Amino acid sequence: MPKMKTHSGSKKRFKVTASGKVKYKAQGKNHINAKLTPERSSRLGGPQYVGPEFEHKIKRLLRIAG
């Protein structure tokens, strides 16, 4: 039986922290940022965490138990 492979797109976008939360980078910060207010830009800059309703789906794509 071959090994199960992780989802290539998911492993580039998500990371599981030591406590088991799924962390990702917010969208909308790569280009055309002149129109963003400083408050919005700052808010998008910090780490974002996946909600509990989608956490198990992401972990399944990453092949992480839990």
In a domain, 62, yes or no: yes
Contact of 3 with 59, CB cutoff 8 Å: no
Domain total in the chain: 1
In a domain, 5, yes or no: no
Confidence of residue 66 (pLDDT cuts 50, 70, 90): low
Per-residue pLDDT tens digits for 13-64: 999 999 999 999 999 899 999 999 999 999 999 999 999 999 999 999 999 8
In a domain, 10, yes or no: no
In a domain, 2, yes or no: no
* Residue-range definition of the domain harbouring residue 41: 17-26+33-66
